[in-house]
Amino acid sequence: MRASSIRTVSVVGRHNSGKTTFLLALLPILVQRGLRVGYLKHAHAGFEIDHPEKDSYRARRTGVLQTIVTGGGQTAVIDDAGEPTIAEVIERYARDDLDLVVIEGFKREPVPKIEVARMAIAKGDLVCADDPLLLGVVCDFDPPRRDVPRFAMDDHAGVADLVWAKVIGRAPVAAT
């Protein structure tokens, strides 16, 4: 399977809405049900995976265009090529054997989305209320969108079923 044909779903929401907490419970369910899952996170302000005292950190500051660090069964690629789209990142870096890439963030990208919203932060509004690719809402209030399913903040299995049905295109599989 080419990376460009890997199915994707993005979990979106406001800062501190509970996206990461929800994902950390959803991801193992998807994996236990037999999916080969990748995870892609959008870091708004950039990020640093290296530390100033490390060789790769110092080498990056010499003007190289890309730094690759590998060892201990892990590989990290740091590419200073600008802000890529989800499609560009997946095409360039995603493994071909993935069934699904679960994305955290990228709310404006044209991919299927599940929004996580808390009343205390969202004040009853959704960031993707007008997005036709919104598949469902995980929230603790009655959302303005009535045409998509609503899930409780702890309904990880229900959202996994939604992903199977709407993104993977098959009936949900029971956890093994």
76, 69 in Cβ contact below 8 A?
A: yes
- Check residue 16 and give its pLDDT: 93
7-47 tens-digit pLDDT: 999 999 999 999 999 999 999 999 999 999 999 987 655 56
Residues ≥6 apart with Cβ < 8 Å to 74: none
- Residue spans of the domains in the chain: they are 3-46+84-168
112-156 tens-digit pLDDT: 999 999 999 999 899 999 999 999 999 999 998 999 999 999 999
d(CA 99, CA 129): 27
Residues ≥6 apart with Cβ < 8 Å to 164: 33, 170, 171, 172, 173
- Check residue 1 and give its pLDDT: 46
Decide yes or no: CATH 3.40.50.300 for domain 3-46+84-168.
yes
Q: What is the CA radius of gyration of the chain?
A: 18
